[in-house]
């Protein structure tokens, strides 16, 4: 599957200053929407002036001090922000991204499955409720098989630096 995501982990370079981010440094990561593409940007803590206007979501972190793989720490609010931002999207890659984020949020018990539905164009949907806010959302089902779901999930993890 080919996607329109520009995916990388922590860049190790601040986009505002060009300063190298070293192991142990605090940084702010941003998932931005640039001309219809998701792009990750990292800022040194001292260069952070708040999220840029094109931010879909943002988070604070620390550059890992070791190359050892570690179990990802999930940020449910970051996932929920991405999920809300993509509401109403009609672009196929973004629908896939939103669907997989919804599955992750259901696994994390942030979203509760309520029902299935169908859009006027015949697309099947999941109807979910946010366990925190009570808000109901309809999520288009892009009919991904398990392998495609795994690919998109890996892209979500890489994009958010959770690999």
pLDDT score of 46:
93
Higher pLDDT, 114 or 32: 114
Convert the pLDDT of each residue in 45-81 to its tens digit: 999 999 998 888 888 888 877 765 555 567 788 889 8
62-76, 91-105, 109-123, 126-140: which range is least confident on average? 62-76
Residue 6 pLDDT exceeds 70: no
**61 beta partners:** 27
The mean-pLDDT minimum among 2-11, 93-102, 150-159 falls in: 2-11
Of the pLDDT bands very low, low, confident and very high (cuts 50, 70, 90), residue 5 is very low
pLDDT given for residue 38 in this prediction: 81
Is the CB of residue 106 less than 8 Å from the CB of residue 112?
yes
The pLDDT assigned to 71 comes to: 56
Alpha carbon distances (Å) from 49 to 25, 44, 63, 74: 17, 10, 19, 24
Domain boundaries of the chain, sorted by first residue:
5-62, 76-159
């Amino acid at each position: 599957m080919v996607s329109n995501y520009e995916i990388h982990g922590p860049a190790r370079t601040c986009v505002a200053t060009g300063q190298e981010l070293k192991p142990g440094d605090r940084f702010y990561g941003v998932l931005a929407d640039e001309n219809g593409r998701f792009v990750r940007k990292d800022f040194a803590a001292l260069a952070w002036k708040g999220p840029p206007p094109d931010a879909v979501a943002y988070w604070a972190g620390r550059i890992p001090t070791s190359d050892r793989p570690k179990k990802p720490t999930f940020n449910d609010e970051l996932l929920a922000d991405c999920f809300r931002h993509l509401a109403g999207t009609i672009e196929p890659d973004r629908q896939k991204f939103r669907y997989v984020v919804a599955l992750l949020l259901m696994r994390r018990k942030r979203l509760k499955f309520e029902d299935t539905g169908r859009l006027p164009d015949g697309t099947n949907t999941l109807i979910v409720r946010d366990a925190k806010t009570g808000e109901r959302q309809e999520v288009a089902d892009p009919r991904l098989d398990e392998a495609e779901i795994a690919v998109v999930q890996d892209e979500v993890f890489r994009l958010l630096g959770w690999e």
